[in-house]
Amino acid sequence: MAVTPAPRISLAGSGALLLDGARGSFDDATQELVWSVANAARTLEGVRETVPGMNNLLVLFDPLATDAPSIGERLRSLWASTDAHAVAGSLHTVPVSYGGARGEDLAGWAAHCRLSVEEAVRRHAAATYTVAAIGAMPGFPYLSGLDPRLAWPRRGSPRLKVAEGAVIIGGAQAGIMPMTAPSGWHIIGHTDMRLFDVQAPSPVLLRPGDKVQFEIAGIER
């Protein structure tokens, strides 16, 4: 097992600790450890919820049932002793209509990447992405695995409304909007696949560890 540097642990109020295992940019191996520690920590006495982020983990506990120093100690020991393993997630193929009115940043994105629109789209659809974490809004997947050539820093000011189904790029991350909401990410296309359906027995489609591939349903310039 690779030696894992000790995570930074900080208070998030009196009832939560943030365990940060990030070493600069996002790292897949660290994320597998985050998932494993999240599962193990859920069974600790007094722990209420674990929230995997990007190379970090928020752990909520009842401060009247336990205390931050003892939870912190247990998290450190779990981080050092837990075997990280990939999650055998499902593969989801997401059809995308690139560009057009529902993919308004397509041309700007390709230009930023110094690629033709076709080549940028081809690369976006060629990669296999991993759902690193779900968060921000119900069912929103933070996808790792974006071709570094396709990264584009977030907008200076967020759009107040980005439509459900928007296929988006934010820095080195890819994503899909599960609902219409504000976002500072760039919109390169649209999918009709629903990621969040509160009526469904399992309302959130994607889970950490799942794989996502985009399929080119069309390109509109």
Partner 1 sequence: MIEILTTGLPNTVQDLGRPGYLALGISHGGAMDSQALAIANLMLGNDPSAAGLEVALYPFRLRAHVDISLAITGADCPISIGDRGYPSWWATAIRAGEVVVLEAPRSGARSYIAFAGGLDVPPVMGSRATDVKGGFGGLGGRGLSRGDRLRLNTAECLLPAGGFGVAVEERQATRNGNAYPIELRVLPAAEFDAFTPQSHAAFTGGEWSITNDANRMGYRLSGEALSLVSPLELLSHGIVPGTVQVPPSGQPIIQLADANTCGGYPKIATVIETDLWRLAQAPVGARLRFVPVSAEAATVSLRTARQQLEALAASRMIIVGRRR
List residues binding partner 1 (CB under 8 A).
8, 10-16, 18, 20, 22, 26, 38, 48-58, 60, 63-64, 67-68, 133-140, 142, 178-179, 181, 196, 198, 203-204, 208
Name residues whose C-beta falls within 8 Å of residue 204's C-beta, 6 or more positions apart in sequence. 134, 138, 139, 178, 195, 196
Name residues whose C-beta falls within 8 Å of residue 77's C-beta, 6 or more positions apart in sequence. none
Minimum CB separation of residue 216 from partner 1 in Å reads 27
Minimum CB separation of residue 213 from partner 1 in Å reads 22
Minimum CB separation of residue 32 from partner 1 in Å reads 15
- 16-20 and 129-134 strand pairing: unpaired
Smaller CB distance to partner 1: residue 24 or 91?
24
Smaller CB distance to partner 1: residue 39 or 125?
39
Smaller CB distance to partner 1: residue 12 or 86?
12
Minimum CB separation of residue 111 from partner 1 in Å reads 24
Minimum CB separation of residue 137 from partner 1 in Å reads 5
- Token digits for 170? 């934010």
Cβ atoms < 10 Å from Cβ of 141: 28
Smaller CB distance to partner 1: residue 103 or 178?
178
Smaller CB distance to partner 1: residue 1 or 43?
43
